[in-house]
């Protein structure tokens, strides 16, 4: 997982509440055998005028000019500003995979759906819960091209206008994100203990380590 420390980026305002995981990545893409490559299909039904199917080449598909993400100025933006209950619906891990693959690293909202919130941290995304009034105000201030800095170690957001907003995050999750530790990397910190265990067991019960071929 990519470590997350400080990110400065344009802010994409997605002014909708209850954005569900089927809107984030429609169900036809779940048949995929991959976990990467979902970025081009992020918000597929809103982003394109035609119907998307897995493995389509999106570079020639007709774009919906009214959808915020399609404005050139938001190209490669990493921060998404949205409304309450973002990520509701099914538990598909494809939703954070799609957001991350597109390039987003931060989502700001007054609230998130539970499973989606957990899945974000497993996939290098930082979901930040802010007071509803703060989110309202940020939407008001947000012009095309408005920049923002999110600093995870100090748990602060610095707006375009220099305002500093503090946010909360669970310490162990913060530790994982800041150091880019996924669950596997954390377990691998015990690599020596695992090897020692294996060595002992291989001596005691060698048949458990027979090759299968």
Partner 1 sequence: MTGRTLYDKLWDEHRVCSEPDGSSLIYIDRQLLHEVTSPQAFEGLRLAGRKPWRLSANLAVADHNVPTEGRERGIADPISRLQVETLDRNCQEFEITEFTMSDPRQGIVHVIGPEQGATLPGMTIVCGDSHTSTHGAFGALAFGIGTSEVEHVLATQCLVQRKAKNLLIRVEGKTRPGVSAKDIVLTIVGKIGTAGGTGYTIEFAGSTIRALSMEGRMTLCNMAIEAGARAGLVAVDETTIAYLEGRPFAPQGEDFEPAAQSWRNLHSDIDAVFDAVVELDAKDIKPQVTWGTSPEMTAPVDGFIPDPQLVQDAVKRESMVRALQYMDLSPGMAIVDVKIDKVFIGSCTNARIEDLRAAAEIVKGKQKAAGVKQVLVVPGSGWVKRQAEQEGLDIVFKDAGFEWRDPGCSMCLAMNADRLEPGERCASTSNRNFEGRQGYGGRTHLVSPAMAAAAAIHGHFVDVGALEPVSTPIEISQSAAVQPPSRVKTGQTHKRKKH
Among 50, 131, 190, 199, interactor with partner 1 by CB under 8 A: 190
As measured in angstroms, the least distance from the Cβ of 36 to partner 1 is 6
CB atoms within 10 A of CB 191: 9
List all residues 6 or more positions away from 211 whose beta carbon is below 8 Å from its beta carbon.
none
Half-sphere exposure of 168 (CA within 13 A, CB side): 6
Does residue 201 bind partner 1 (CB under 8 A)? yes
**Using rule CB under 8 A, residue 36 touches partner 1:** yes
* Distance of alpha carbon 84 from alpha carbon 111, whole angstroms: 5
For the segment 62-101, give every residue that binds partner 1 (CB under 8 A): 93
With contact defined as beta carbons under 8 Å apart, do 39 and 161 qualify?
no
| 28 lines the binding site for partner 1 (CB under 8 A) | no
Instruction: Report the distance separating Cα 196 and Cα 178, nearest Å.
Output: 29
Under a CB-based contact definition with an 8 Å cutoff, are residues 79 and 105 in contact? Answer: yes
Residue 179 binds partner 1 (CB under 8 A): no
SS3 198: helix
> What is the closest distance, in whole angstroms, from the C-beta atom of residue 169 to partner 1 in the complex?
17
Query: Does the protein bind partner 1 through residue 188 (CB under 8 A)?
Result: yes
Residue 34 near partner 1 by CB under 8 A: yes
Whole-angstrom distance, CA of residue 157 vs CA of residue 23 = 27
- According to the binding rule CB under 8 A, does residue 164 interact with partner 1? no
Contact with partner 1 (CB under 8 A): which of 61, 122, 160, 174? 122
- Which residue of 66, 161, 171, 210 would you call a contact of partner 1, by CB under 8 A? 210
Q: Which residues bind partner 1 (CB under 8 A)?
A: 1, 31, 33-36, 93, 122, 182-184, 187-188, 190-191, 193-194, 197-198, 201, 205-213
């Amino acid at each position: 997982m990519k470590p997350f420390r400080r990110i400065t980026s344009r802010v994409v305002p997605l002014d909708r509440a209850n954005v569900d995981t089927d809107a984030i990545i429609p169900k036809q893409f779940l048949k995929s055998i991959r976990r990467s490559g979902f970025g081009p299909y992020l918000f597929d039904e809103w982003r394109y005028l035609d119907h998307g199917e897995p493995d389509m080449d999106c570079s020639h598909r007709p774009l919906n000019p009214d959808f915020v993400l399609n404005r050139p100025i938001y190209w490669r933006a990493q921060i998404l500003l949205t409304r309450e209950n973002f990520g509701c619906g099914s538990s598909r891990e494809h939703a954070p995979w799609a957001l991350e693959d597109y390039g987003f690293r931060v989502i700001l909202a007054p609230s998130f759906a539970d499973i989606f919130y957990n899945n974000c941290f497993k996939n290098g995304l930082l979901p930040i819960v802010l007071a509803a009034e703060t989110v309202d105000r940020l939407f008001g201030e947000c012009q095309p091209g408005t920049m923002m800095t999110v600093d995870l170690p100090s748990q602060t957001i610095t707006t375009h206008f220099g305002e500093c907003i503090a946010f909360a995050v669970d310490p162990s999750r913060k530790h994982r994100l800041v150091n880019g530790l996924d669950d596997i990397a954390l377990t691998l910190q015990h690599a020596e203990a695992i090897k020692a265990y294996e060595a002992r067991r291989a001596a005691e019960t060698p048949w458990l380590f027979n090759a299968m071929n």
